[in-house]
Structure 1
Amino acid sequence: MNNFKQLITNNIRKFGMIVALVGIVVIFQILTQGILLTPLNITNIIMQNSYVIILAIGMVLVIITGEIDLSVGSVAAFVGAIAGTLMITWELPVIPSIIISLLVGAVIGAWQGFWVAYVKVPAFIVTLAGMLLFRGLTMVVLNGRTLAPFPSNFRIMSSEFMPDLLNGGSYNMMAIIIGIFAIIVYVYSEFRARKIKAAFNQTELSYSLFLTKVILISVLIGLFTERLAVYAGIPYILMILVALIAGYTFFMSKTIPGRHVYAVGGNEKAARLSGVKSQKIKFWIYVNMGVLAALAGLVFSGRLNAATPQAGNLFELDAIAATVIGGASLTGGVGTAIGALIGALIMGVLNNGMSLLGVGIDWQQAIKGLVLLGAVAFDIINKKRNG
């Protein structure tokens, strides 16, 4: 019991957001009379919030360094307009158009990163200017019109499902196999990580708590996979999200540049004295954010099947809210990709659940505002308690 209490105390931010997500799911599952967790609705939640998750993954790195990016919604809209022009107006092939669009995002990120990292203009001002600039350029590129439709093979990544090569009938067997593989990979990685920590005599969970955690998460993966298999299988966008989360989690926890990101956010002056090139770190963080904003713009445009001047409206607030709710601290130095995912899911389930209940968009915005305020207040109170 003492071990369990210590675990909760040391990870109160992480456990708080997980409990919040589970609680919100249970409440809306009851209020919607079971509609929330139907296979169709789970798939809708994934697809409808995919762009927020992508933006939140990039935003968490920006916020960890103690900076902010208010331009991601406008950048996503601008890149969507570029993609629409390339594929619909100029009729270029899909793959080159996607590559060009991502490169445009990287250039935009480099532009903003230069001003923030090297010229020392506050990130709030740089990205606010970027928000206005790229919103205006979106209207210029589209000339105030909506471009549609995109080629069918472009929409695959945002709206289509992996085919069931095994023809499982009422169950998508490809999804079941992928789910089993995911459980095996997860269990192996957990036991391997525990073995490595034990070799260095690091404090670890008791074996019973560790085993309980592994079993519980494995069961959740299995149930989630079963829900997808009953409907249409695994969406391509889900595989993209899993790859991004796994890649960024590895980068942030297992690589030297990833640890440098935390060092810059924790104490930039101390990091510089330790040999960390803080300007270079911030520059590349914004390049990364530009690429992910471009990817989010492509995903959103593909799902909408159109490039529109109104795209990306308030995306930046959704991304920041998801990141903060997911445990990132606006003062820097704290945050994870998994936390950003959970924060985005909390926002997504709130939106979806309230929509199913017929709650108006006005009350939805008000409730999300209160949730964001509560998350920040929780972070501040927790810091004071531990400080």
Structure 2
Amino acid sequence: MKDKPRVYYITQFITAIFWGSVIPVYVLYFRHFDLNLFQVAFMAAIFESSILIFELPTGLVADIYGRRISLLLSALVLFFGGLVFIKFPTFFGFIIAEITVGVGYTLKSGAFEAWIFDSLKHEGKEKDAKEVFSQGKRYQTAGELLGMILGGYIGFWSINFVWYPFAFGSLATFVFLFLAMREEYWEKAKEKIKVFKQIKDTIQKSLEVVRQKKLILALVVLGIFSSFSFETISQFWQVHFSENLSVATSYFGWIVAGSSLLVILLVNKVSKFSEFFKKETTLLLILKIGFFISFLIIAFTYNPILTIIFFILLHGFEGFSAPIFLDIFNRHIPSEQRATLLSFQSMTGSGGEVLAGLFMGFFALNFGLRPTFGLGSLVMIIGVLVFFALILQNKKL
């Protein structure tokens, strides 16, 4: 398939379906096999920790051996991770499965965005990257929505079959990428040098980019604060809506659907607004401030309808900012270390999520959800201020 963006869109859509199919029944699946709530939280921590550990090494795999190889490996590893969930439904089996799925996730994280950006750059279409990332976000969100609907029905029909779409969806992704994905620029650019020397050079050059470019450092820092803040609302919104606002759980699916539809319908239009600003980071800052305001209102309003509206807006701001963030980040990093640097950024974001899971869980237990959400919104605005301070040092902005 010669149309690289089409491969990107289809892959985003397929992978989002099988990832999304697990979301509605993730906790219920573990509870079905008699895991307590602490053990369920432990599983999530295992997954995020595996991302922290393997994100950078798998980014090196993509930069040294090629992004296509990394993505094919990702699909295979995710397939085997799904099989472990299916065949070994025990506490220790789940630990192995979570680690395996975490490794599979990291093999795709960074590598896929690096592949599409460098493919566009190779074809002289680098200016189309923002539009491609925005369109990819639309397909991803649509896939997640479809997957969540599918997962809900599968969970209702038989909880034992929850991981089948994940496993065989991963296998289907492998077949599709094997047949459709090409990496012409890599064939021309790769050099035959010693692997360990290349690993060392890639790490050194990647760290040098982060050290020298204030904008890249600012984006990495913003990613950490954003992940911490977003993980706070992601973990506890259902409990807050149910216990503090008395919103019936039957509405939860519609609330998530509303959030997804907002992103699907408007993400392209919002991304184009960045062209009206002199500085490329302005729209990103506006969206993060919108996230902060929405989160703050959710924390302290007692009106269920108002809370739902701003929850949907919060997810919209997060979804709108993703392609803009990717476009800016990719424009300021070298192709040779692109996957490694994208993996590094993803790794630091996962670190923020792990910290949020540990600290905010303790904070919520002792002080309640409203103060926890207030603190989560405060973390976001601190991240925005640090980001703003760092980019002021970058004279090119």
Higher helix share: 2
On whether the aligned pair clears a TM of 0.5, the verdict is no
Q: Which has the higher contact order (CA 8 A, sep 6+)?
A: 1
